[in-house]
Every structure is written in structure tokens, then in C-alpha cells.
């Protein structure tokens, strides 16, 4: 998945711990083979190759993941969309851009993006991309899903506590050996060497999306590397979004979506979801939280 995974388990001895960690690694590698769009032999690649041609029968696991992704797309009004993989990459975040791309170029870049054109047949377990040239990708949900599956596997093997850290997508369960809760530091996006909050996380996932490392400034305005798949334009106004949810898969998708939806709509959507909370930092350094999170500054 092109990402670093750090796995921590609470076990009786180092031998058992290493065996559990190896199991988790095996599960993550299995999922990568299933969802990778880089592997020409994966079912995901087969779906993309047959876009606009024919439905592709897939494993129930992949079908269900795509189904949930489409549901999240509906929930976020398309701010999250796994067919984003169809986008032409016209925005550069390597300091090489000096002017805005043409409107026609931006419009053309998202012409084949649209979750509405992902046709699912549950009875036949088939996935069909209705437009030729469409592609799906799991860059905004795959790491979280892999973390969830590794956690589930380890729990089934009797591991009482641990953390799966998928490049910042944190998934926890149980407690530390001293019986204290796992705690997650929320990085200050204006000063990456410090944290503005240290929060307990009990059997939950925490995912942070940030634009403080990848962005471009054009005509004095700051544009994030997170692109709105509906318009082709980068998101603005937010530099960090942290989401707490029961599963990393959901938290992963929502953290990205908040950038696109914006502060007001993003908070409103999060406040409608059970067991989901968020912390947003805007480009002025101000902190915004969902209803059940309170941060006091001293």
C-alpha cells in the first residue's frame, strides 16, 4: 500500500508477540493483493481494465468494501469517491506550479469520476464501471481497512490489547500492560514538533489527514493536495482533520471528506453519526470540534 505499518501487541513474551505481529503482517499483505490497483493480477485492476466493457465478478470481501465506499460517497455527497483514481493529475505540489490550470483543463480532469457510475450486483457479486476510462482506487480507505482486518484477526487469536498504526491511521483495543488507556497525540499542524492534545482512545480508531506538508500557494491562496473529486479543485480552509470512529476504514474516509466538505458541513455531518467525533484545525490555526469533544487551552 506504499505505507508504513507499525504493530504493537500486548503478549506474555516476545516470542508470542512476534508470532502475532507476523500474523498481522500476513493479513495486511493479503488485503494489499486484493485491493491494489498497481498489481495487474488483482481483482481491482480487473475491474478497472473492464470499465465500460463488462461487469467483473469479485470476492465477497472486495464487493462489500466497494459497497461501503459507495455508501460513504452518498453520505458525503461525493466528497469521498473511490473513482477518484480516474482523475488526471494536473495539480502539482512540488513547488513547480506558478499559475492556476485552465478551467477547461480542471473540468476535463474529473470527467470520468463519479461513484454513481459504479454498478453493483449483489446477487452475482459483480462490479461494473459504466464509463470507459473509469478507475477505482482505495488510497483514501485501504490503509484503514487493512488496520481493521489486522486488529480483528489478532483479537480472534486471543491478543488482549494492541495498536495498529497504518501511517497515522491508528486502531486500538484493550489497555496497556499497566492497565492505563492508550493515548494518541494530536499534532499541531502549525508546529509538527508539538501536540496540542493528548486524548485517550479506547477500542477505537483515530485518523488524521493533513495538508501542512503538501500544498501550493497561488495568487496568495493556499490550496491543499486533497482534491474535490466533484470539481477537480483542491480543498481550502482546513489544514488538519482528525476523526475518531469505531473503525479505521470509516475514520480514514471521513478525515479526507472533511477537507472537501469544509468546516461547517463537515462538522454537521459528523455530528449526525453515532460514535464518530472530529477535531478540525483551519488555516488560521483555530480549532473546531464536534459536539462531544472539548479541548481546554491553558
Mean pLDDT score, 152-160: 97
68-101 confidence digits (pLDDT tens): 999 999 999 999 999 999 998 899 888 889 899 9
Residues shown for the chain: 298
Mean pLDDT score, 257-281: 95
pTM for the structure as a whole: 0.91
- At 5, which helix (H) or strand (E)? strand 5-9
Residue 16 has pLDDT above 90, yes or no: yes
Structural contact between residues 214 and 222, judged by C-beta atoms closer than 8 angstroms: no
Longest dimension (CA), the chain: 61
At residue 173, the pLDDT reads 96
Strand 162-166 and strand 5-9: the pairing is: antiparallel
Q: Do domains 43-129 and 181-289 have the same CATH topology?
A: no
Confidence of residue 220 (pLDDT cuts 50, 70, 90): confident
Rounded to an integer, what is the distance from CA 168 to the centroid of its chain? 10
CATH number assigned to the domain covering 181-289: 3.10.520.10
Structural contact between residues 205 and 170, judged by C-beta atoms closer than 8 angstroms: yes
At residue 29, the pLDDT reads 94
Confidence of residue 296 (pLDDT cuts 50, 70, 90): low
At residue 89, the pLDDT reads 86
Q: Which residues contact 26 (CB under 8 A, 6 or more apart)?
A: none
Confidence of residue 102 (pLDDT cuts 50, 70, 90): very high
CB count in 10 Å sphere of residue 95: 8
Separation of alpha carbons 197 and 187, rounded Å: 7
Q: Is 286 helix (H, G, I), strand (E, B) or coil?
A: coil
Structural contact between residues 69 and 254, judged by C-beta atoms closer than 8 angstroms: no
> Between 60-75 and 14-35, two packed helices, what is the crossing angle to 10 degrees?
80
Residue 297 has pLDDT above 70, yes or no: no
Q: 34: closest CA among 25, 21, 46, 49?
A: 46
Confidence of residue 67 (pLDDT cuts 50, 70, 90): very high
Domain boundaries, the chain: 43-129, 181-289
Q: State which CATH number among 3.30.420.40, 3.30.450.30, 3.20.170.30, 1.10.3980.10 fits the domain covering 43-129.
A: 1.10.3980.10
Structural contact between residues 18 and 11, judged by C-beta atoms closer than 8 angstroms: no
Q: Which residues contact 19 (CB under 8 A, 6 or more apart)?
A: none
Amino acid at each position: 500500500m506504499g505505507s508504513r505499518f507499525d504493530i504493537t501487541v500486548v503478549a506474555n513474551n516476545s516470542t508470542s508477540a512476534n508470532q502475532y505481529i507476523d500474523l498481522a503482517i500476513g493479513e495486511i499483505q493479503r488485503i494489499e493483493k486484493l485491493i491494489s490497483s498497481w498489481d495487474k493480477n488483482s481483482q481491482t485492476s480487473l475491474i478497472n481494465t473492464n470499465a465500460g466493457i463488462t461487469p467483473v465478478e469479485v470476492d465477497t470481501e472486495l464487493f462489500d468494501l466497494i459497497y461501503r465506499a459507495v455508501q460513504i460517497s452518498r453520505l458525503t455527497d461525493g466528497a469521498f469517491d473511490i473513482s477518484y483514481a480516474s482523475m488526471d493529475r494536473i495539480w502539482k505540489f512540488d513547488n513547480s506550479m506558478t499559475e492556476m490550470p485552465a478551467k477547461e483543463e480542471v473540468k476535463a480532469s474529473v470527467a470520468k469520476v463519479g461513484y454513481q457510475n459504479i454498478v453493483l450486483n449483489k446477487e452475482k457479486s459483480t462490479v461494473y464501471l459504466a464509463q470507459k476510462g473509469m478507475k477505482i482506487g482505495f488510497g483514501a480507505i485501504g490503509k484503514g481497512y487493512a488496520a481493521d482486518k489486522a486488529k480483528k484477526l489478532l483479537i480472534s487469536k486471543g491478543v488482549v490489547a494492541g495498536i495498529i498504526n497504518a501511517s497515522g491511521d491508528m486502531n486500538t483495543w484493550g489497555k496497556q500492560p499497566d492497565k492505563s488507556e492508550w493515548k494518541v497525540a494530536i499534532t499541531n499542524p502549525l508546529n509538527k514538533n508539538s501536540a496540542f492534545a493528548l486524548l485517550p482512545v479506547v477500542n477505537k480508531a483515530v485518523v488524521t489527514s493533513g495538508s501542512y506538508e503538501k500544498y501550493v500557494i497561488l495568487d496568495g491562496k493556499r490550496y491543499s493536495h486533497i482534491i474535490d473529486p466533484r470539481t477537480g479543485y483542491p480543498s481550502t480552509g482546513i489544514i488538519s482533520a482528525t476523526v475518531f470512529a469505531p473503525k479505521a476504514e470509516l475514520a480514514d474516509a471521513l478525515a479526507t471528506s472533511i477537507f472537501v466538505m469544509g468546516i461547517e458541513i463537515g462538522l454537521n455531518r459528523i455530528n449526525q453519526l453515532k460514535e464518530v467525533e472530529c477535531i478540525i484545525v483551519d488555516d488560521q490555526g483555530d480549532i473546531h470540534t464536534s459536539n462531544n469533544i472539548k479541548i481546554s487551552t491553558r
